[in-house]
A = this chain, B = another copy of it.
Amino acid sequence: MKKPGPLSLNTATVKEQWSLQQCIEGCARHDITGISPWRDKLADYTTAKAAKHIRDVGLTVTGLCRGGMFPAADAAGRQAAIDDNKRAIDDAAALNAQCLVLVVGGMPAGSRDLAGARNQVQDGIAAVLEHAKAAKVPLAIEPLHPMYAADRACVNTLAQALDICDALGSGANDRHLGVAVDVYHVWWDPQLAAQIKRASKRVLAFHVCDWLVPTTDLLLDRGMMGDGVIDIPAIRAMVEGVGYDGFCEVEIMSTHNWWKKDADTVLRTCIERHATVV
């Protein structure tokens, strides 16, 4: 099997240890050539400073995390989300990011209308798509694991994400609206291989980590590649099979393990696992 695409550090992996500035310096120190920042850290550093630092160091921004969170209880809330997504698109453009990752949002508090939330997501993406196209920022819908359907993302399968792409006019070779494939979210899906084929050139990002057994927290107990049960090389082969030749982005949220370790040790481990088990 050929080597995986180059490593990118999603800053969530060392969220508790490092600022964005430290992440950029850390990537440079460890010869990691890609980075994917979160907007809270970006705001702390300022977009202008981060963009210059990233450019100076020569990193590729494989994605900006995150846009999305479209559903809201009322029209004002939905408009606020649309406005915020446009600002996220502008930030992504300033960073020359390869995509803006969309974690689409769950149901508004008190709602049990999952289908309604899903419709609001599609409407929200539709409302920002022209802005994204004009800014030349591809939007990557990230289907999240079904355990996040209520409160984080009501788009839970690649099939659903691609239905939205299709509905909004993004065909198989059209990369302005596509998907982020994170093995953690999709590994269980019986339709995985078929839907990655369907995605084709719309695979805009590839994220790795691992599913631990047992998993002790729904959100913050992700595993380092190789420590869990996901057949990561098999999924990598699927995305490469449709021509994906981009970075391999490591995103590990881990309160009790990786967030407690020395960040340089975390990065060294990512590099070693990227070379051996991805």
Tell me the A residues contacting B by CB distance below 8 Å.
107, 111-114, 118, 145-147, 149-151, 154, 156-157, 159-160, 187-190, 211, 213-216, 218, 228-231
Contact = CB atoms under 8 A, between A and B. Distances in A.
24 contacts: A112-B229, A112-B231, A113-B231, A114-B187, A114-B188, A118-B190, A145-B146, A145-B147, A146-B146, A146-B147, A146-B188, A146-B189, A147-B215, A147-B218, A149-B187, A149-B188, A150-B188, A150-B213, A150-B229, A151-B214, A157-B190, A159-B190, A214-B218, A218-B218
Contacts of A214: 151, 218
Nearest to A148: B188
Nearest to A112: B231
Contacts of A118: 190
A151 B190 contact: no
Contact of A211 (B150, B188, B189): B150
A159 B107 CA distance: 24
A105 to B, nearest CB: 13
Nearest to A163: B190
Contacts of A211: 150
Most buried by B among A114, A187, A230: A114
A277 to B, nearest CB: 10
Nearest to A211: B150
9 tightest A-B CB contacts, nearest first: A149-B188, A146-B188, A112-B231, A147-B147, A150-B229, A146-B146, A150-B213, A151-B213, A160-B190
Contacts of A213: 150-151
Contacts of A187: 114, 149
A183 to B, nearest CB: 11
B147 A231 contact: no
Contacts of A159: 190
A246 to B, nearest CB: 24
Given A112-B231, A145-B146, A147-B218, 7 more contacts: A112-B230, A114-B188, A146-B189, A147-B215, A149-B188, A156-B188, A215-B218
